[in-house]
Structure 1
């Protein structure tokens, strides 16, 4: 009842404030009109006037009413810089504390009880560093102060801490505003607004957030590095740990701008993409697709035949492709570019020192201004009982293991329904394996729209894959009968267990960042599923950055390279200028047959986030070139802002979908709409025309019907 009564009182005061137009008294015009009378009152009763102003300021701030900024300017105009600053500084802090306490009394218990589990991280952070967080917010007024007062009341921050931090943190801003007010008080007419003194005061208002942000950043840096001894000089400008896509690009950029850079790799140059991921999988997919085309040659008017091949030679070709690409990522190439490449294991000893255990047995320590962590990710192996006993493969180990086989495994189980699992399941099925793909969820490729998942499942089943959705892997078993060892995986569906025998088990249920063994824990660098970074890819220490799979949020080679630019530039030039990593337009593709490519939102993303959209869809089965190529399947689906041609996202399913997507990626990146794509000449006959026809479908759906009706009348009139 007390809370309801207090809430009623506050609501009554706020309503009365607006109902009686009291906010008009807190305007510049009113202050100017009343300035002479106020000066006379202040001269007659200085303490009464000052006290009344002080009390009114507290009330305005405590009730979060508009007008505090005007009153701050008024304090300078009426009381002068020194006295006005003292009045406002204490009144604003006291009023803010009242608002803080009211918020805490009325709302904190309810909010914490309802959302306590979700707020745990915030509560822990406030309990640990609340004073610093509040000081940062007060010093850099990005958010309205009244909102800070109310939100902080919901946290465990102590009242005393809130008051003194607010008192100190708001003082610089108060000083700047009051100083501007002293100049406003000298204005006799609007033309005086351009006086040099007033222009300087408002310039200070504009510069203050920038200066404050710089001060806060320096304070944070000093605090973070306080327990470490900084080297007097540095051996390198940049050290990069990991020679995958992110590491290679980071080192390349550093060398290109003539920085002294060292690249450290513990295993193979080129990382997972070259050796275990993108390159070998695409080589395998090509061979598997060709085998499938031979079997379906009658589709092209040729004699249908049996695809005869040596599985060992197919896997040997995969290795040849890797070796052909290797020089692009080799030690020799990067050495010629100016990068020092060291083969060994790196560990951070402090924010500037890296110890390298070299593969030749030696140890080397280097100091550096900045570090980029680009250690990548590894396949995740689910902790299934018995999995170690039966043995398993991953997307990393499958290539070497299968290279020794004359034939594809007779029975292959693929665990996982994501892009990697789908690509490998379809390819090995086309190369002779009886493949069973197990997916725990209701559909494969769950990040795509349902219709895409259905189409992908149908494509895999047509290739011979037995796709089991809603099946959860429970355990693995090994048995020996008649001297033969047999391996099984047990899955559960609708509470019924089923045993599936296999010759090889391929785990493709995702990848996890490589975080252990690099000294991150000892330095206090926060890791969750990935290394925790800010918008600039900086870790707890601004000179230590992360890029690629180890940083997330995407695990694509092209996003790793994209992040590498930001990490390298911020690491080398962050003291002068920093750049936020841009994830606004991220494309990706799954290279099953048919390919699935996407950029931006799909329908399920938009629905989940409550984003309004329109759908335009063009079926590739109507495209001349697709019909001629025997690839008349799939679609282009575009999401746009309702009533406008601005693209929110695109999904393409079909032949060379990843290549076709590039036009939409460019359009979204540079703000070009479907009208621009429709007005662009596309070569006939090409698959790229599908993009233009999709734009045409949108245009047709948004044709100006009233105007067309008038045109029809016009043409009728012209015919007489």
Structure 2
């Protein structure tokens, strides 16, 4: 806090201190006001303007300092100045004083509060920016609500000073009139509780509810205006139409069918979407083959001699397709048809908020769920179209293993596939424009992945950017591709390759099925704009999965799909906000990187006062026996508390180990609960318990333990009162060692 803020805070604190030190509140009681009424009236009659000015300034001061006296001053003002003149004075003085308190809170506290708790206040800030005047008006209309709290808290929000003053001036008018009306009868009032009768309180309560009713009416008006250009069908063919049969679409359709709703699922290509056909399933099958090759190469470490293994790449890729075919029935038309879903293959187009066309057929529906997914980003790099490039969608068409593979992008997909192809025998170069791999992870986690990829043979070029590509021929007339990389605009690096894999992220599929005609907005990231209920601008049209973001994860799409389906089918009774607070994610490199909640980097960015608990897997017995004793478990907690804010695990099977922390966070279980849970020995799951043990040791009550130590020392005294010898065993040393060893 700078000197100006400290000075202002000191002045305000001193004024408040003087108020209580000299017991000035005794002059702002009902009895005092009644006793001084006649004397003050004589003074006001002789000098009305001076008296009004003094009253006005004192009222501002009391309100600005949030002192307990404004209610009495309002009553007294009405008795002294009459209804209309006191209404003018009090109305403006109270609003000016409230605004000064608002500005004080904003100047002294807002920056500190927003810096420290900004991530938690983000939804509140967004709500205030959108509906702040309405919320403030509602609060001002209820006179029993502590206005000084409203003044101070609103100063911490983004609402403008001008808006705060105007809404306060208008919103407090009703309550001010009630108090002034009562003040005109000051002599008959025995207590503040007599100011407002039950009838008046009821009227004010209705006034307080009015803005909420107005908001509902405005919402109804806006919905009618939104839908005015689209004729509503008299009846509907379906309760829900889902566009896209990836993870989000399948779960939406499944839930709708499970609750006996009539639902149609439309897919233009293959059931299962990216995850089954080009993403999770094939990539994990390839990773399994690469892992097997890596394990065979370590056979000598375990005392096993093998011949030199070779890779039949065609058979590897054939197994990938076999795995897809084996999982395929889980997402098939046959399965979902049996569940009651009407599955249609074709290109869907949204004609109106209640109508979808597919294969020339028009379907009317009460709700629409958009689950059209995303596609790999193909950047406009000069020369790209001349080289042999693949994406995470098309790499599975490879039949011949590339001798030299260039991978652009050091995110999860790029790292996973770069390591896999390298382990299977390709010469792999990975290019990342940032200064670390996996930029969303902590640097220590990314560093272990970097070391592992390099030990496998991947040539990693950080802080490099691909500037252009070139296609030529070698001396034998075979195609030769070159990439020209820029190292921080200081040095150009040339990399020759046979195949290029683009792993630079994914772009939401938001075009070609009618969103433009409806005017549904997209975000800066190109995803469909949705609210916390997964609704688009049209309350009956929802979006889930990669097309909605912000998480491009299969389980995130399924998570969102539940909210979309339930809110669409039953939202008229109860709507649920999507909750992403406990969302796990795994990068399937070796070692794996698994995370849930915030990591250390995010904790620093959010300025959380946190502790870091780290347990190295090189200490875990099962990891040692398996030759997997590398990596760590890292947990973020609030300072001095065992509440889990986030966990990052780097190591073999990290994705499986993460589940215990995810469960604990979801159900509010702290590290003490994990420590008190019996884990089988020897297992990798013991890592969670030992991590909790590290926290417990660091947070042991040292003062209590010191007294316990004294207690044990006292208990070791013999009956004669002699002190026990802490340095030597009571048995002869040789006998002591024998009994100890036995």
Calculate the TM-score normalised by the size of structure 2.
Answer: 0.78
CA RMSD of aligned residues (A): 4.6
| CA-CA distance at 1:549 after TM superposition | 1.3
Kept in 1, the 8 Å contact 2:243–2:249? The answer is yes
From 616, 623, 632, give the equivalent of 1:619: 616
Q: Deviation string for 1:34-84 (max 9, x for gaps)? A: 369769999x999x99x96999499749986648996599689979xxx89
For residues 654 and 621 of structure 1, what CA distance do their matches in structure 2 show? 10
Secondary structure of 1:579 counterpart: coil
Could you give the per-residue CA deviations for residues 108-148 of structure 1, whole angstroms, max 9, x where no partner exists? xxx9xxxxxxxxxxxxxx9xxx9995654455549947887
Contact 1:134 1:166 in 2 (8 A): no
C-alpha distance in structure 2 between counterparts of 1:31 and 1:445, whole Å? 67
The aligned counterpart of 1:417 is 410
Q: Tell me if the contact between 1:636 and 1:651 (Cα under 8 Å) persists in the aligned partners.
A: yes
Aligned position for 2:554? 557
**Residue correspondence of structure 1 range 680-699 to structure 2 within 5 A:** 680-699=677-696
Q: 2:508 aligns with which of 513, 516, 521?
A: 513
Moved more, 199-208 or 693-702: 199-208
In the other structure, the counterpart of 1:523 is 518
Which of 506, 530, 543 is residue 546 of structure 1 equivalent to? 543
SS of the residue 1:509 aligns to: coil
1:648 positional shift:
1.7
C-alpha change, 1:459 and 1:153, in structure 2 (3 Å) is closer
Distance 1:603 1:554, change over 3 A: same
Equivalent residue in structure 2 for 1:600, among 594, 597, 620: 597
Partner of 1:355: 356
Q: 1:455 to 1:226 in 2, by over 3 A?
A: same
Question: Residue 395 and residue 153 in structure 1: after superposition, are their counterparts in 2 closer, same or farther (change >3 A)?
Answer: closer
Distance in 2, Cα, partners of 1:348 & 1:632: 54
- CA drift of 1:651 comes to 0.9
Matched-pair contact (CA < 8 Å) for 1:394–1:508: yes
- The partner residue of 2:478 within 477, 484, 487 is 484
Per the TM alignment, residue 304 of structure 1 is displaced from its structure 2 partner at its CA by 3.4
Alignment of 1:315-464 (within 5 A): 315-350=317-352, 352-358=353-359, 363-399=360-396, 401-402=397-398, 405=399, 407-464=400-457
Aligned to 1:118: none
The range that moved more, 241-250 or 479-488, is 479-488
2:493 maps to 498
Deviation at 1:611, TM superposition (A): 1.3
| Paired residue secondary structure (1:385) | coil
SS of the aligned residue for 1:644 comes to coil
Deviations 1:412-465 (A, max 9, x none): 111110000010011111111111111111111111111111110111112221
Normalized against structure 1, the TM-score is what?
0.80
Cα distance in 1, alignment partners of residues 266 and 36 from structure 2: 75
User: 3-state DSSP class of the match of 2:661?
Assistant: helix
* Structure exhibiting the larger radius of gyration computed from Cα positions: 2
Distance 1:295 1:542, change over 3 A: same
1:280-295 correspondence to structure 2 within 5 Å: 280-295=282-297
Q: Contact 2:354–2:368 (CA<8 Å) still a contact in 1?
A: no
Segments of 5+ residues of structure 1 without an aligned counterpart are: 1-6, 112-125
- Determine the C-alpha separation between the residues in 1 that align with 2:597 and 2:166: 46
C-alpha separation between the residues in 1 aligned to 2:634 and 2:380?
39
Displacement after TM superposition at 1:154 (Å): 5.5
Structure 2: where are the runs of 5+ without partners? Answer: 112-125, 141-148, 719-742
Deviation at 1:208, TM superposition (A): 6.0
Distance 1:336 1:136, change over 3 A: farther
Aligned to 2:259: 257
- C-alpha spacing 1:67/1:543, structure 2 compared with 1 (3 Å): farther
Secondary structure of the equivalent of 1:318? Answer: helix
CA deviation profile, 1:362-420 (whole Å, cap 9, x unmatched): x1222322222221111111211000111310001111x21xx2x41111111110000
Say if 1:164 and 1:612 are closer, same or farther in 2 by CA, change over 3 A. closer
Q: How much has 1:219 moved relative to structure 2? A: 4.2
> Does the CA contact (< 8 Å) of 1:57 and 1:88 recur in 2?
no
Whether the 8 Å contact between 1:94 and 1:163 is mirrored in structure 2 is no
Aligned to 1:34, the other structure's residue is in SS state: helix
Choose from 244, 247, 257 the match for 1:245. Answer: 247
SS in 2 for 1:490: strand
Separation in structure 2 between the aligned mates of residue 90 and residue 365 of structure 1, nearest angstrom: 64
Q: 1:573 to 1:145 in 2, by over 3 A?
A: farther
